[in-house]
Amino acid sequence: MDLRLSDELILLRDLARDFSEKRVRPLAPQIEAEHHVPRELIDEMSELGFMGVAIPEEYGGSGMGETGLCLVMEEITRADFAVAVTYGAHASIGAMSVLVGGTPEQKQRFLPDMAAGKLLGCYALTEADAGSDPAAMRTVAVREGDEWVLNGEKVWITNGDMADLATVYAITDREKGARGGVTAFLVPSKTKGFSVGKREEKMGQRGSSTVALAFEDVRIGDDHRLGGVGDGFKIAMATLDRGRLALGANCLGCAREAHALSVDYAKQRKSFGKSIGEHQAIQWMLADSATELFAMESMVYRTAWLCDEEQSFSRESAMTKLFCSEALDRIVDRAVQIHGGMGYSAEYPVEKLYRDARVTRIYEGTSEIQRIVIARDVLRRGS
């Protein structure tokens, strides 16, 4: 499969592929065992320009848009999902919230350092009792003169313990609820009262850190308010439009890897005197996975194109996330089945891919929430 990419994007994809194969893949077992992505990989991604790949050049980024970000995501995920998620929490939902919601001054102030990987971002929306329903959040921000005072706790925050700057969503007017009552803030992690809590032990993507964050009388200046007072929910959702698209690219990379391993295994493993790939049952699984991969790739890059052309892509991004995460689950499941008992062994890579894939139907909005988003839009704007 090939896409009609510009020469620049082809160079970027090849660079990401090379980095991923030479630097990420060899470290993947260590990252999984130690539950940690080495800082040197982040620094190398910064030097290669990946950290700001979707940040416009005027703000110090590479200006390669969401298409560029998806290409890098796809390639890195092929080698290790945890590295790609660590990368995405910064380059996608971390930096993109500043791009989507920031004033020109805030973009000039924060994005060049984010593009250079000197300032790592994270996105803090979820709370213990507010996941699918973020409007139920309890974190509050109260204005005192030129400052805001934040109190509350977020959970499940990817990169929360390594980020320098967290985009935190807080209630500023409880009466108004999600629309008008939530405001976004850029909170430096060094601010007094900001603390990192429990790290989750996860089924998959174990190298990626996911932690709770607590805010106790955290004081930040009004210049750290992202967007207008009450615009937080809009910024959170616009950032997720981009995040869900990039997550589609994650799913595509992981699915490609599972499928490639399955094709190799089907050719090499024998039963009843022939390779298992000669049995129709295995052929049908391979055909279904290849077909779904083609659909995933088409959705990811068409949606990225819509975003880069500044067209509406919110529904398409939810559809991409929904379809790609569910197709990935089917593809990794087939990969395990094709590998037979070896598919269940931790010695074979498909076992890890199977575990890594499962959460994609949950984070950045569950499949159920994506269906709600899509159906609402279909009913409002038509098919």
Ligand X SMILES: Cc1cc2nc3c(=O)[nH]c(=O)nc-3n(C[C@H](O)[C@H](O)[C@H](O)COP(=O)(O)OP(=O)(O)OC[C@H]3O[C@@H](n4cnc5c(N)ncnc54)[C@H](O)[C@@H]3O)c2cc1C
Interaction of residue 185 with ligand X, rule CB under 6 A: no
127 belongs to the catalytic site: no
Which x/- pattern over 118-137 shows residues binding ligand X (rule: CB under 6 A)? -----xxxx----xx-----
Interaction of residue 156 with ligand X, rule CB under 6 A: yes
Dihedral-angle region of residue 73 (phi above 0 means left; psi in -120 to 50 means alpha; beta otherwise):
alpha
Interaction of residue 366 with ligand X, rule CB under 6 A: yes
Q: Quick one: tokens of 256?
A: 């490609």
Q: Which stretch binds ligand X (CB under 6 A): 2-10, 16-24, 44-52, 365-373?
A: 365-373
Q: What is the largest CA-CA distance in the chain?
A: 80
According to DSSP, the residues that pair with 122 across neighbouring strands are 166
Taking Cα atoms as reference points, which of 362, 365, 349 lies closest to residue 256? 349
Q: Which stretch binds ligand X (CB under 6 A): 54-62, 156-164, 190-198, 217-225?
A: 156-164
Closest CB to ligand X among 81 and 301?
81
Residue number closest to ligand X, CB atom: 131
Closest CB to ligand X among 212 and 338?
212
Write down the least CB distance from residue 127 to ligand X, Å: 8
User: Who's near 117: CB < 8 A, 6+ residues apart?
Assistant: 42, 43, 45, 46, 47, 51, 52, 90
Q: Which stretch binds ligand X (CB under 6 A): 2-10, 155-163, 306-314, 322-330?
A: 155-163
Pair 62, 53: CB distance under 8 Å: yes
Exposed/middle/buried for residue 116 (C-beta within 10 Å: 0-12, 13-18, 19+): middle
Give the C-alpha separation, 76 to 18, whole Å: 10
Which x/- pattern over 224-263 shows residues binding ligand X (rule: CB under 6 A)? ----------------------------------------
Pair 230, 181: CB distance under 8 Å: yes
Q: Which stretch binds ligand X (CB under 6 A): 76-84, 112-120, 335-343, 360-368?
A: 360-368
Start-to-end CA span in the chain (Å): 29
Whole-angstrom CA distances from 339 to 205, 230, 282 are: 21, 52, 10
Q: Quick one: tokens of 96?
A: 């993109």
Write down the least CB distance from residue 10 to ligand X, Å: 31
Q: Which stretch binds ligand X (CB under 6 A): 35-43, 64-72, 364-372, 375-383?
A: 364-372
Whole-angstrom CA distances from 352 to 28, 89, 134, 208, 347 are: 11, 21, 31, 14, 9
Q: Quick one: tokens of 316?
A: 């398409």
Closest CB to ligand X among 229 and 362?
362
Contacts with ligand X: how many residues (CB under 6 A)? Answer: 20
Interaction of residue 165 with ligand X, rule CB under 6 A: no
Candidates 254, 364, 370, 373; binder of ligand X (CB under 6 A) is 364
Write down the least CB distance from residue 184 to ligand X, Å: 12
Interaction of residue 211 with ligand X, rule CB under 6 A: no
Q: How many Cβ atoms sit within 10 Å of the Cβ of residue 133? A: 11
Residues designated catalytic: 364
Interface residues toward ligand X, by CB under 6 A: 89, 123-126, 131-132, 156-158, 202, 210, 359, 362-366, 368-369
